[in-house]
Structure 1
Amino acid sequence: MPISPFKLTDLEIQNFSPKNGEQLIADGNCLFVRVRGNSKSFRYTYTHHLTKKKVHISLGAYRKLSLADARIKTKEFNELRKQRIDPKEHWLSQTIYKNNNALVNFELLTRSWLATIESSLSEKYYRNIERAFENHLFVYIGSIRLEDITQSIIIDALRPLERQGKHETLRKLYLNIKKVMDFGVISGIIKSHALIYSRDVFTKPKPQLFPALKPNEIAELLSTTSNADLHPKTHSLFLWQLESMTRPSEACSVKWSDIDMKKKVWVIPGTKMKNRKEHHVCITDTMFSILHEMHAFRGSSDYVFPSFSDPGGHMNSQTVNSMLKRVGFAGRTVSHGLRALASTTLNELDYDRDIIEIALAHVDKNEVRATYNRAEYKKQRRLLAEGWSQIIENGRKGINPVEETW
């Protein structure tokens, strides 16, 4: 008797409960059951034959769609792939355009929009956007017809996020909802929509500043971290982030190819920057020493700080944050607070404020460069980097740059 390519049973699906968060259970032939809390649904996941990226298709909620029907749909999709027809594109075209747009609801339009942007985004970023719609919107308004979508319906659907204090998730989701509806108009699926994003609709979050140390605590920070039982990679990443004044995600993801040894510059691509603009960091002698130490861990990795667990990845952006908590700085500073420490210290020592802001990537260098000629601009950037590096070196010797005067 031939062995079935499928391995799950209805009973197994009914009884399965994830230990935490979200979990995918493989059934076979690219069919998965997605379990999140008490919610269970079918998902078809495959690799696009051209982009080589992972693509996900939500087939429907478990019970509303039976396991047998999900397997039938899976076989249909696999047959399409054998003919080099993309299942997601085919499914969307059949669902939306076949019925002359008459039966299109919010979820179907969103899936169509997601399919058009998927190839231009990283898999992780795409999945974050898709997951936000699945977790916070489809359950409330996914089945509502497009002509019935109003501003008040969208606002009511987003109120739970407001009550939970997830203001940034709410903001991003609302903007993406508007992009979905704009896509519907451009595609001719709907004639118009009346959605207008306004910050005044929802309560404004209270600004929260990152806790940061004072300049007269630099020596304590460096002494504590130097004497702690840390992995060399963790300590090096901490020093690199402190010296470079960069954000945690920028520091941990630096590649060897981003380093210009001749010009002594680290070039951070715009795709990694908060303002989406390329940023240059002057490499100091201390930073060169860190690069030399990290070369021993390089192996075949593209990253200066390779991951402990993923051979092709880099260290986690929360590594330094976790380390600071472990060595006793919980509540006193976080890894992002190292930038505030640098800014406060350099401003109190009367370094050029504009140059400090450029080094922190708070302002566009072109907005300030007009004040300096090219040679002077480079000189000021280098002097600031070397000055901050010397402050850190003095801190290692127990010398603080600014003693407390208040």
Structure 2
Amino acid sequence: MPLTDVYVRNLKPQTKAYKKADGGGMYVFVQPDGKKYWRLAYRLHGKQKTMALGVYPQTTLGEARQKRDAAKKLLDEGVDPVRDRREASDRRQAEALNTFELVAREWHAAQLARWTPAHAKKILGSLEADVFPSIGSHPVSTVEAPELLAVLRKIENRGALEIAGRVHQRCSAVFRYAVATGRASRDPAADLRGALKAPARKHYAALGLDDLPDFLKRLREYDGEPQTRLALRLMALTFVRTGELRGASWEEIDFDNAEWRVPASRMKMREAHLVPLSRQAVAVLRELHDLNAGQPLVFPSRNGRGNVMSENTILYALYRMGYHSRATGHGFRATASTILNEMGFPPDWIERQLAHKERNSVRAAYNRAQYLHERRGMMQTWADYLDALCTGEKIVPAYFRRQPRAGAES
């Protein structure tokens, strides 16, 4: 006869363990200490086996029967329910050890050799702020495109369209890493192409040729921190990126050869960059060297903690000079590029000086070995040009002309 809950509840312990059958191979196993266990006896491939179904009364009679029936269905398909349960348990444990956050942090750690500390901090910060709170605890293999889209929509809804796009790219990289390491089967972020709002193309505010004379005069008369004035002067002379300027160390500066060697670890494109220095740039650096004697950094923070100058220092100085929304540190690159192109300097020289990445790998390898002598002359011409603008000298643009080859008609 099938068991009843009352009957099971009233079963008393004996000196030896015993069992009472319910049917279909299921029984309750009563221990001498009074504990009662549900069990299922079955045969598979000629072998007698036993499966635990739970402990009474935490697992009721009805719940034990449901587990028995589910196991029977697996047996009808030739599947061992104990092995299936063990595999499911292993799967759950693997998923618990491979959440999106854990895999993302592992991916992030694997990229540190390629990134600057500031860039690495920015990437992890965006994931911690916008992604981990929503799907960080989810197994990376179970995250689907709609879940990720909901995360990105929250970022879009606060108007941060560019950040949403970058977070999308970073999540895609995490999923691809999970696929490569056997923790996921696909990248759901790939399904979201075209689903996000496209941000308006952003251009850095940059000075035009007509603005330069007044700017240079204001810079010469700048009465703020001397280091800030020199930073703006060096940025105008070299038009490197703001981050490359701020992080400069004296070991990168070669005064004897008038060169600034920025290591790959500090470059946006992760390629070392050599900046030929004009006489004016060398003079600025020597002044900075005297100003910051004993410091390893060219532009140390004034808080005395060994950090670099704040990223807002240059921007706030421009505001103070009256160029709010009219100029940015990065904008010097556009200004220099425009004017040098109008002067007739070859675009390859200018692009190499801007450290823009060449898409063609063969051409990139060639260009890295070229143009240093030519760029040195171009940068001196640029520095002399800025000095002339600052002093108000009458400038007759001396446009560059490539010299004809020997024997060619001029």
TM category (shorter chain) comes to 0.5 to 0.7
Picking from 118, 124, 128, the partner of 2:109 is: 118
Equivalent residues of 2:292, 2:298 under 8 A apart:
yes
Query: Which AA in structure 2 matches 1:100?
Result: D
Q: Indicate the SS of the match to 1:240.
A: helix
Compared CA separation, residues 149 and 282, structure 1 to 2 (3 A): same
Q: Indicate the SS of the match to 2:99.
A: helix
Equivalent residues of 1:324, 1:330 under 8 A apart:
yes
- Asked if 1:162 corresponds to 2:162, the answer is no
Q: Indicate the SS of the match to 1:200.
A: coil
Q: What's the offset of the Cα at 1:266? A: 0.6
Equivalent residues of 2:276, 2:372 under 8 A apart:
no
- Asked if 1:367 corresponds to 2:358, the answer is no
Unaligned runs of 5+ in 1: 1-98
Compared CA separation, residues 221 and 228, structure 1 to 2 (3 A): same
Show the counterpart of 1:100.
Answer: 90
Compared CA separation, residues 238 and 366, structure 1 to 2 (3 A): farther
Q: What's the offset of the Cα at 1:114? A: 1.0
Number of residues of Structure 1 aligned to a counterpart in Structure 2: 305
CA-to-aligned-CA distance 1:222-268 (integer Å, 9 cap, x gap): 11121131211011101111101111111111111111223221111
Show the counterpart of 1:78.
Answer: none
Q: What's the offset of the Cα at 1:382? A: 1.2
Q: What's the offset of the Cα at 1:202? A: 0.8
Matched ranges for 1:276-295 at <5 A: 276-295=270-289
Compared CA separation, residues 368 and 275, structure 1 to 2 (3 A): closer
Compared CA separation, residues 134 and 311, structure 1 to 2 (3 A): closer
- Asked if 1:322 corresponds to 2:316, the answer is yes
Show the counterpart of 2:383.
Answer: 389
TM-score, normalization by structure 2: 0.66
Q: Indicate the SS of the match to 1:381.
A: helix
Unaligned runs of 5+ in 2: 1-88, 398-410
- CA distance in 2 between counterparts of 1:157 and 1:310 reads 40
- CA distance in 2 between counterparts of 1:370 and 1:236 reads 34
Structure 1 vs Structure 2 CA RMSD: 3.1
Compared CA separation, residues 118 and 350, structure 1 to 2 (3 A): same
CA-to-aligned-CA distance 1:138-188 (integer Å, 9 cap, x gap): 332234344532112111221111233323322332233233333434444
Show the counterpart of 2:58.
Answer: none
Picking from 138, 144, 147, the partner of 1:144 is: 138
- CA distance in 2 between counterparts of 1:371 and 1:142 reads 44
- CA distance in 1 between counterparts of 2:334 and 2:117 reads 32
Picking from 233, 244, 248, the partner of 1:250 is: 244
Matched ranges for 1:30-109 at <5 A: 100-103=90-93, 104=95, 108-109=99-100
Q: Which moved more, 1:153-162 or 1:165-174?
A: 165-174
Query: Which AA in structure 1 matches 2:363?
Result: E
| Percent of pairs with identical residues | 23
Q: Which moved more, 1:205-214 or 1:177-186?
A: 177-186
Query: Which AA in structure 1 matches 2:349?
Result: I
Equivalent residues of 1:107, 1:142 under 8 A apart:
no
Compared CA separation, residues 193 and 265, structure 1 to 2 (3 A): closer
- CA distance in 2 between counterparts of 1:275 and 1:384 reads 23
